[in-house]
Amino acid sequence: MNDIILFRIGERLTLSAMVLLVAVVVMIGFWRSVQKIDLSEGGKLGLGGSFVFSTPVFVLLAIIGYAWVSLEHPIQVMPPSGDAPTQTASAAAPAGQFIGSAAVAARDDADPGYDRAIAQRRIRSLNCLALDHTPSARTADDLAEIKLGILRDLWLPEWGDPAAFADWALGRSLDAPADAARAAWEEVHPLC
């Protein structure tokens, strides 16, 4: 859940607890003072006084005051300000995945592994999607081309020759690629 929503929920619960605490303190003060007036000596408080100081009226006014304070300041969640793009997940997302809207993390150009990490995440997501379906030969070739396109600019030297790997990925060669390249190619998203 978004941090701002959790903060606002906590804020509202704290406000509720404070209002109830004040209501209890005032109610106890009311019971110890006003309701202890001794009217047995013939004095009258009068209909207006007895109505104004009655417990049900006090409770009703406390509830109305609480409702006014609560409704006067509704919880509002605004989209992230600035030019940051937002990322929205589907409401039909599997359990354990994020549902909602959040700002996309800013790109860190000083981190050389950033693009590689994004590419690996995309490959894992594509592999996850491919697990749910048995693709036709043409679709499998298209998927391999897409994955090769993602990795082409981010190829690591320890993965071996990119052309030989592409031949293996497209089924044109039986020569096994380097283990690290194959692991990167076949890795699946952990939430699958």
What are the extents of the domains in the chain? 3-72, 106-186
Angle separating helix axes 137-152 and 162-169, nearest 10 degrees: 160
* Cβ neighbours for 98, distance < 8 A, ≥ 6 positions apart: 89
Cα of first residue to Cα of last residue in the chain, in angstroms, is 21
Instruction: Please say whether the beta carbons of 19 and 66 come within 8 A.
Output: yes
| 117-136 burial: b if 16+ Cβ within 10 Å, else e | eebbeebbebbeebeeeeee
Quickly list DSSP for 83-125.
S--EEE--TTPPTTS--SEEEPPPP-TT-TTHHHHHHHHHHHH
Whether the per-residue pLDDT at 113 is higher than 50: the answer is yes
Q: Which pLDDT tens digit goes with each residue over 50-93? A: 555 566 677 777 778 877 877 777 666 666 666 655 555 444 54
* 74, amino acid identity: P
Does the pLDDT of residue 48 top 50, yes or no? no
Which stretches of the chain are assigned E, i.e. beta strand? 86-88, 101-103
Name the one residue in this structure whose structure tokens are 């009258």: 44
Instruction: Quote the pTM value.
Output: 0.43
Neighbours of 27 (CB within 10 A): 14
Which is more confidently placed, 37 or 148? 148
DSSP 79: P
Which of 67-81, 97-111, 126-140 comes out lowest in average pLDDT? 97-111
Q: Residue 112 has what pLDDT? A: 62
Least reliable range by pLDDT among 22-26, 77-81, 116-120, 124-128? 77-81
The token duo for 17 is: 């607890």
CA–CA distance, 20 with 28 (Å, rounded to integer): 12
Q: How far lies 82's CA from each of 41, 103, 106, in Å?
A: 72, 10, 12
